[in-house]
């Protein structure tokens, strides 16, 4: 079961609601897309799933119907929370939570299991900071499948030497393996957005052994001047000898350096 365009409009009209631009609300109204997202999330019996931005519950239903042991559906919009509760009323494994994903107590929210899969349709303004914060502070989330604006998805999963590669790409690579696993056309949303979306899979793995504060200070400093050679952008913090010890070409630019190179540079700069 999922919502058609007519279903979405009727659910909203029944409660005198309208999609909120300030919350980036665009509801998926295509059964094939919803089933594909649930499949790519690799959710199955016994899994604990947290969904951010559950909206009107179309994806929530698809996740529950794959046999998940629990689906925690988080929604910030009070009006949608009421509608969502009605949509999932016949699914005892779904728990609806009215909360802001940017401020919620994640330890309390995820207390029911030590291992979670996160599935989310994230608006542009919170996608990058939320993913970075979850990787930094919520180890219980072992796998994510996030639907984001295509350009954001490309940055999350970017490889060195590509135009999209930046500080957030290094952050994600530090904690996880990330890859774009699909695209979602604007035509499947109500209302239709002005951008295309991408599905990004992020699978947590052990981070490298390095002083993270030192590592990301170097990364932020260098990418703050991404057009400059490293010997210029890092001249106050890295000496020519330290570049040599790390095996990093000082004439390279930050987008040319993979995570392993940043780790070596952090080790060389105690």
Topology of the domain comprising 212-268: Helicase, Ruva Protein; domain 3 (1.10.8)
Percentage of the chain with pLDDT > 70?
99
Tokens 């080790």 belong to residue: 267
Q: How far apart are CA 23 and CA 29, in angstroms?
A: 18
Cβ neighbours around 45 below 10 Å, total: 8
Task: With beta carbons less than 8 A apart as the criterion, state whether 192 and 31 touch.
Answer: no
Task: With beta carbons less than 8 A apart as the criterion, state whether 156 and 200 touch.
Answer: yes
pLDDT of residue 4: 78
User: Residues with Cβ < 8 Å from 255, sequence gap 6 or more?
Assistant: 160, 161, 162, 163, 165, 166, 223, 226
- Using 50, 70 and 90 to split pLDDT, how confident is the model at 12? confident
Cis peptide before 191 (omega within 30 of 0): yes
Q: Helix (H, G, I), strand (E, B), or coil: what is residue 146?
A: strand
Pairing of strands 70-75, 141-149: unpaired
Cβ neighbours around 19 below 10 Å, total: 17
Q: How far apart are CA 194 and CA 260, in angstroms?
A: 37
- For residue 1, pLDDT beyond 80: no
Q: How far apart are CA 155 and CA 214, in angstroms?
A: 22
pLDDT of residue 24: 82
**Centroid of chain to Cα 204:** 12
Cβ neighbours around 27 below 10 Å, total: 24
- Using 50, 70 and 90 to split pLDDT, how confident is the model at 270? confident
Task: With beta carbons less than 8 A apart as the criterion, state whether 255 and 165 touch.
Answer: yes
pLDDT of residue 246: 97
Q: Give the DSSP per-residue string, 197-249.
A: EEEEEEEE-PPPSS-HHHHHHHHHHHHTTTTS-HHHHTTTT--HHHHHHHT--
pLDDT of residue 240: 96
Tens-digit pLDDT profile for residues 146-184: 999 999 999 999 999 999 999 999 999 999 999 999 999
The mean predicted confidence, pLDDT, of the chain is 94
- For residue 2, pLDDT beyond 80: no
- Using 50, 70 and 90 to split pLDDT, how confident is the model at 247? very high
Tens-digit pLDDT profile for residues 14-71: 888 888 888 888 888 898 999 999 999 999 999 999 999 999 999 999 999 999 999 9
- For residue 3, pLDDT beyond 80: no
Q: Which CATH number fits the domain 5-204, given the four candidates 3.40.50.150, 3.40.50.300, 3.20.20.70, 2.40.320.10?
A: 3.40.50.150
The strands making up 176-184's β-sheet, listed across from edge to edge, are 94-98, 70-75, 48-52, 116-121, 141-149, 197-204, 176-184
Q: Where are the domains of the chain?
A: 5-204, 212-268
Task: With beta carbons less than 8 A apart as the criterion, state whether 141 and 117 touch.
Answer: yes
Task: With beta carbons less than 8 A apart as the criterion, state whether 229 and 206 touch.
Answer: no
Q: Would 5-204 and 212-268 be classified into the same CATH topology?
A: no
pLDDT of residue 218: 97
- Using 50, 70 and 90 to split pLDDT, how confident is the model at 123? confident
User: Residues with Cβ < 8 Å from 105, sequence gap 6 or more?
Assistant: none
Tens-digit pLDDT profile for residues 212-226: 999 999 999 999 999
């Amino acid at each position: 079961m999922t919502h058609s365009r007519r279903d979405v409009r009727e659910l909203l009209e029944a409660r005198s609601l309208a999609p909120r631009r300030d919350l980036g609300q665009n509801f998926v109204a295509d059964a094939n897309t919803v089933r594909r997202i649930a499949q790519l999330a690799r959710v199955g019996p016994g899994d604990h799933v947290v969904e951010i931005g559950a909206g009107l519950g179309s994806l929530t239903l698809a996740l529950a119907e794959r046999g998940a042991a629990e689906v925690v559906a988080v929604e910030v919009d009070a009006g949608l929370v009421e509608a969502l509760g009605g949509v999932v009323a016949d699914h005892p494994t779904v728990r609806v939570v009215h909360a802001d994903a940017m401020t919620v107590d994640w330890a309390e929210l995820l207390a029911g299991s030590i291992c979670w899969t996160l599935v989310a349709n994230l608006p542009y303004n919170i996608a990058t900071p939320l993913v970075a914060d979850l990787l930094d502070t919520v180890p219980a989330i072992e796998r994510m499948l996030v639907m984001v604006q295509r350009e954001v998805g490309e940055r999350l999963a970017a490889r060195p030497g590509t135009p999209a590669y930046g500080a957030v790409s290094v952050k994600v690579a530090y904690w996880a393996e990330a890859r774009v696993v699909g695209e979602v056309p604007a035509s499947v949303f109500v209302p239709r957005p002005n951008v295309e979306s991408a599905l990004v899979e992020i699978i947590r793995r052990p981070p490298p052994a390095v002083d993270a504060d030192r590592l990301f200070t170097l990364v932020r400093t260098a990418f703050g001047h991404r057009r400059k050679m490293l010997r210029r952008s890092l001249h106050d913090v890295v000496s020519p000898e330290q570049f040599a010890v790390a095996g990093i070409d000082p004439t390279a630019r930050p987008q040319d350096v993979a995570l392993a190179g940043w780790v070596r540079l952090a080790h060389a700069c105690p």
